[in-house]
Chain A
Amino acid sequence: MDNFFKKTDRVLLVIIGVILFMAFLALYSASYEPGDASVKDYSTQQLMWIGLTLVAAVLCVRFGYERWIDFGYIIFAINLLMLVFVFILGDTRYGARRWIGLGVFSLQPSEFCKISFLLALTKYVSDNNENITGPKTIFGAMLLCMLPVGLIMKQPDLGTALTFLPIFFTVLLVAGARIKHLMVILFSAVACSPVLWGMLKLYQKKRLLVFMNPNIDPLGAGYTIIQSRIAVGSGGLFGKGWLAGTQNQLNFLPERHTDFIFSVIGEEWGFTGAFILLSLFLFLINRLLFTADAVGDIRGKILLSGIAVLIWFQVFVNIGMTIGLMPVVGLPLPFISYGGSNLLTTMIMIGLAISINMKRKIF
Chain B
Amino acid sequence: MLSDRVKVVKFLVFVSFVFLLSALFYFQIIRYSHFRSLSLKNTVRTIPLKASRGSIYDRNGLLLAKDDMSFNLVLIPQEISDLDDVIGKLSVITGRPGQELKASYKKNYRLPFVPADIITGISPEKAFAIDERLVDAPGALIWAVPKRLYPNGKTGSHVIGYIGKIGDSELKRLKDYGYTIRDLVGKSGVEQYYDAYLKGDDGGMQIEVDSRSREVSRIGFKEPVKGKDIILSIDLGLQRFMDSVFEDKKGACIVMEAKTGAILGLVSGPEFDPNIFISGKSHDRVKVLNDKGHPLLNRAITSSYPPGSTFKIIMAAAGIGTGAVKEKTSFFCNGVFRLGNASFRCWKETGHGYQDVVEALSHSCNVFFYNLGKALGVEQIYKYASCFGLGSLTGIDLPQEVKGTVPNPVWKRLNIKAPWYEGDTINYSIGQGYLEVTPIQMLKTVTIAANSGSCPQPFVVDSIGGVKIAKKKEYNTRLRPELFRMIKQGLFKCINDQTGTGQNAAVKGVAVSGKTGTAQSGPSRVSHAWFIGYFPSEDPAVSMVVCVEHGGKGGEDAAIAARLITTYIKENHVIGACQDSTN
Q: Which residues of A contact B (CB under 8 A)?
A: 92, 94-95, 170, 173-174, 176, 201-203, 206, 214-220, 222-223, 226, 229-237, 246-247, 250-252, 266-267, 270-271, 274-275, 278, 281-282, 285-286, 289, 292-293, 298, 301, 305, 308-309, 312, 316, 319-320, 323, 325
Least CB distance, A254 to chain B, in whole angstroms: 10
Give Cα A112 to B111, complex, Å.
Answer: 36
CB of B324 within 8 Å of the partner chain: no
Contact of B205 among A218, A247, A319 (CB under 8 A): A218
- List A contacts of B23 (CB < 8 A): 320, 323, 325
Decide: B24 and A289 in contact? CB cutoff 8 A.
Answer: no
Decide: A95 and B176 in contact? CB cutoff 8 A.
Answer: yes
Decide: B6 and A229 in contact? CB cutoff 8 A.
Answer: no
CB of B172 within 8 Å of the partner chain: yes
* Given contact pairs A218-B204, A233-B27, A274-B24, A293 touches B3 in the complex (Cβ within 8 A): yes
Counting contact residues on chain B (CB < 8 A from A), the size range is 35 or more
Give Cα A316 to B205, complex, Å.
Answer: 30
Residue of B nearest to A240 (CB): B39
What are the nearest 6 A-B pairs in CB distance?
A233-B35, A218-B220, A234-B39, A95-B176, A219-B204, A271-B28
- List A contacts of B32 (CB < 8 A): 233-234, 236-237
Residue of A nearest to B34 (CB): A233
Residue of B nearest to A92 (CB): B172
Decide: A226 and B219 in contact? CB cutoff 8 A.
Answer: yes
Least CB distance, B45 to chain A, in whole angstroms: 11
Decide: A216 and B41 in contact? CB cutoff 8 A.
Answer: no
Least CB distance, A245 to chain B, in whole angstroms: 9
- List B contacts of A274 (CB < 8 A): 21, 24, 28
Residue of A nearest to B77 (CB): A250
Decide: A229 and B17 in contact? CB cutoff 8 A.
Answer: no
CB of B480 within 8 Å of the partner chain: no
- List B contacts of A292 (CB < 8 A): 6
Residue of B nearest to A203 (CB): B176
Q: A232-B27, A246-B40, A316-B20 are in contact. List 20 more A-B contacts (CB 8 A).
A: A95-B176, A202-B176, A202-B177, A215-B220, A226-B219, A226-B220, A233-B28, A252-B112, A252-B113, A274-B24, A278-B17, A278-B20, A282-B13, A282-B17, A286-B14, A293-B3, A298-B2, A301-B6, A308-B13, A323-B23
- List B contacts of A219 (CB < 8 A): 46, 48, 202-204, 222
* Given contact pairs A92-B172, A229-B35, A237-B29, A173 touches B219 in the complex (Cβ within 8 A): no
Decide: A214 and B220 in contact? CB cutoff 8 A.
Answer: yes
Give Cα A173 to B1, complex, Å.
Answer: 11
Decide: A282 and B14 in contact? CB cutoff 8 A.
Answer: yes
Decide: B219 and A278 in contact? CB cutoff 8 A.
Answer: no
Give Cα A222 to B202, complex, Å.
Answer: 13
Pair count A-B, CB < 8 A: 152
* Given contact pairs A95-B176, A173-B8, A292-B6, A230 touches B44 in the complex (Cβ within 8 A): yes
Decide: B36 and A236 in contact? CB cutoff 8 A.
Answer: yes
Decide: B28 and A235 in contact? CB cutoff 8 A.
Answer: yes
- List A contacts of B78 (CB < 8 A): 250
Least CB distance, B252 to chain A, in whole angstroms: 37
Least CB distance, A49 to chain B, in whole angstroms: 26
- Where chain B touches its partner, the secondary structure class is helix
CB of B340 within 8 Å of the partner chain: no
Q: Which residues of B contact A (CB under 8 A)?
A: 1-3, 5-10, 13-14, 16-17, 20-21, 23-25, 27-29, 31-32, 34-36, 38-41, 44, 46, 48, 78, 111-113, 172, 175-178, 202-206, 219-222
Least CB distance, B160 to chain A, in whole angstroms: 27
Least CB distance, B207 to chain A, in whole angstroms: 10
Give Cα A201 to B29, complex, Å.
Answer: 38
Least CB distance, A10 to chain B, in whole angstroms: 22
Give Cα A308 to B6, complex, Å.
Answer: 10
Decide: B5 and A173 in contact? CB cutoff 8 A.
Answer: yes
Decide: B39 and A266 in contact? CB cutoff 8 A.
Answer: no
Contact of A275 among B21, B38, B112, B202 (CB under 8 A): B21
Least CB distance, B295 to chain A, in whole angstroms: 34
Give Cα A226 to B220, complex, Å.
Answer: 9
Decide: B17 and A234 in contact? CB cutoff 8 A.
Answer: no
Least CB distance, A107 to chain B, in whole angstroms: 21
- List A contacts of B34 (CB < 8 A): 233
Residue of A nearest to B207 (CB): A218
- List A contacts of B44 (CB < 8 A): 230
- List A contacts of B5 (CB < 8 A): 173-174, 176
Chosen A-B contacts, 16 in total, with CB atoms closer than 8 Å, are: A203-B178, A218-B205, A219-B46, A220-B178, A232-B35, A236-B29, A246-B39, A246-B40, A246-B41, A266-B24, A278-B20, A282-B13, A282-B17, A298-B2, A316-B16, A319-B20
- List B contacts of A275 (CB < 8 A): 21, 24
Least CB distance, A92 to chain B, in whole angstroms: 7
Give Cα A3 to B1, complex, Å.
Answer: 34
Decide: B204 and A266 in contact? CB cutoff 8 A.
Answer: no
* Given contact pairs A270-B28, A271-B29, A293-B3, A170 touches B9 in the complex (Cβ within 8 A): yes
- List B contacts of A278 (CB < 8 A): 17, 20-21, 24
Decide: B13 and A217 in contact? CB cutoff 8 A.
Answer: no
Decide: A233 and B113 in contact? CB cutoff 8 A.
Answer: no
Least CB distance, A318 to chain B, in whole angstroms: 10
Decide: B28 and A266 in contact? CB cutoff 8 A.
Answer: yes
Contact of B221 among A215, A223, A235, A281 (CB under 8 A): A215
Contact of B38 among A230, A285, A312 (CB under 8 A): A230
Least CB distance, A353 to chain B, in whole angstroms: 14
- List B contacts of A218 (CB < 8 A): 46, 204-206, 219-222
Least CB distance, A336 to chain B, in whole angstroms: 15
Least CB distance, A220 to chain B, in whole angstroms: 7
Residue of B nearest to A222 (CB): B220
Least CB distance, B37 to chain A, in whole angstroms: 8
- List B contacts of A223 (CB < 8 A): 46, 206
- List B contacts of A234 (CB < 8 A): 32, 35-36, 38-39
Decide: A250 and B16 in contact? CB cutoff 8 A.
Answer: no
- List B contacts of A281 (CB < 8 A): 17
Contact of B24 among A92, A203, A230, A323 (CB under 8 A): A323
Contact of B25 among A92, A220, A271 (CB under 8 A): A271
Give Cα A176 to B5, complex, Å.
Answer: 8
Decide: B13 and A176 in contact? CB cutoff 8 A.
Answer: no
Least CB distance, B145 to chain A, in whole angstroms: 15
Contact of A293 among B7, B35, B36, B219 (CB under 8 A): B7
Residue of A nearest to B172 (CB): A92
Least CB distance, A133 to chain B, in whole angstroms: 12
Least CB distance, B25 to chain A, in whole angstroms: 7
Least CB distance, A271 to chain B, in whole angstroms: 4
Residue of B nearest to A220 (CB): B178
* Given contact pairs A202-B177, A219-B46, A233-B27, A293 touches B202 in the complex (Cβ within 8 A): no
Among A252, A275, A309: residue with most chain B CB under 10 A = A252
